[in-house]
Amino acid sequence: MPSTATPPLTIAILSSQCLVWLGLQKILESSAAVPMVVHHYPRMSSDLFRAECRPDVFILDLESERDTIGTIKQIRESAPTSKIVLLGGLEDKDRTREAFAHGVDGIILKVQPPAVVLTVIEALCAPAKPQAQVERQSMEEMARRTPSTKTVEAEASPPAWPDALTEREREIIRLVGQGLSNKDIAYKLSISDSTVRHHMTNIFDKVGVPNRQKLLIHAHHVRSTPV
């Protein structure tokens, strides 16, 4: 019988900082939802663009990557199907915004917890599924998880997305899951910063979380429930 195991995602971390890539490797390879294989490259290499070893995701460390825009352009030209994620700090806002304008797919801040890092990568690489398939899989999963006894009726229900979320709010949650800031979301959706803040406030109230970091962690726990 042929194996139906999901092939692992291949992640290339471009960073000259040993502690950075070792920490990311430990976080990413701990994912229970998506198997990942992480490779470290201190600098860009032409070997990365060979079809047999082209990574699914490039993570660019802004602190050690000098020509960020040039690297993004090179990846887009040579590996158009690969995702690009920036790794930066709170002080890198200007460089992050410039890089985002050139087509990166997600952003990870070094201050964010492991659950958020995993959420960003998993959200970017999750395959799109038809709604009928999603509903069928959700019903099958529910059937598998429902015990035949009533001893667990008092257990807490798993977290889920509220039905009250609008389509625009769900779209914003998906972009937050990619690590985008309010300004980046406003730019991508062609709306004002204040409109994004208004939507975020409504999302926090409906989901029951106090901030975007808690929202991302919540998203990590409900990975099987599409937004």
> Is residue 165 domain-shared with residue 222, that is, in the same domain?
yes
Least confident stretch, 12-21, 37-46, 83-92, 126-135? 126-135
Find out whether 94 and 115 touch, Cβ atoms under 8 Å: no
- Is residue 143 situated within a structural domain? no
> Is residue 109 domain-shared with residue 14, that is, in the same domain?
yes
Predicted local confidence at residue 31, as pLDDT: 85
Percent of the chain whose pLDDT exceeds 70: 80
Q: Determine the residue type at 137.
A: Q
Mean pLDDT of the chain: 78
In this prediction, residue 222 has a pLDDT band, given cuts at 50, 70 and 90, of: low
Q: Which positions ≥6 away from 181 have C-beta within 8 Å?
A: 96, 107
Number of domains forming the structure of the chain = 2
- Is residue 140 situated within a structural domain? no
- Is residue 134 situated within a structural domain? no
Domain boundary among 103, 125, 147: 125
Q: Residue 164 is part of which domain span? A: 158-227
> Is residue 101 domain-shared with residue 169, that is, in the same domain?
no
Q: Which positions ≥6 away from 200 have C-beta within 8 Å?
A: 172, 176, 182, 212
> Is residue 37 domain-shared with residue 97, that is, in the same domain?
yes
Of residues 30, 38, 34, the one with CA closest to residue 123: 34
Q: Per-residue pLDDT for 46 more than 80?
A: no
Q: What is the pTM (predicted TM-score) of this model? A: 0.60
> Is residue 111 domain-shared with residue 185, that is, in the same domain?
no
Least confident stretch, 29-33, 142-146, 221-225? 142-146
Least confident stretch, 67-81, 93-107, 122-136, 165-179? 122-136
Domain of 215: which CATH number?
1.10.10.10
Q: Per-residue pLDDT for 138 more than 70?
A: no
Domain of 93: which CATH number?
3.40.50.2300
